[in-house]
Amino acid sequence: MFDLLRQKQVMLILAATVVASVSVPIEAGQVVVRKSSEPFDAFAVREQVLREHEWRQALRMQQQINILQSLPIGCIPMARPYAYYSCGGNFFRPYQYQNKELYIQIDPLDSESPSLNK
């Protein structure tokens, strides 16, 4: 009786595993087929894949928001079109978060905006 119950449990687990593996999509990387007569440098391919991965990582890092808790020394307050700070080619807007003033990096604006110091 115990062996029969154990066999049913094993079969149920195997059936669940098969159903789960069929319903989950599995993706693989790019497959390249070459003729054996064509020259092939596996190390060059590895280096190219590594460079592409590093490039994608660099792009992801650029897309992240740059938030500072304090501005760098020498930032100039600007008034228009809204209050922001010019810090050596980088621009930051003040932002209130949990009773703290943070600074979020923004895209460069036109240089004709008057500063608050004038």
pLDDT tens sequence across 32-51: 787 878 887 888 888 888 88
Q: Is the pLDDT of residue 118 over 60?
A: no
Please tell me whether the peptide bond between 81 and the residue prior to it is cis, using omega within 30 degrees of 0.
Answer: yes
Query: Is residue 58, in this structure, part of any structural domain at all?
Result: no
Range of the domain at 101: 67-106
Model confidence, pTM: 0.41
Choice between 74 and 18, residue whose per-residue pLDDT is larger: 74
Length of the chain: 118
Query: Is residue 26, in this structure, part of any structural domain at all?
Result: no
Query: Is residue 82, in this structure, part of any structural domain at all?
Result: yes
Query: Is residue 100, in this structure, part of any structural domain at all?
Result: yes
Pairing of strands 67-68, 90-97: unpaired
Q: What angle do CA 23, 29, 31 make, to 5 degrees?
A: 115
Number of domains, the chain? 1
Average pLDDT, the chain: 77
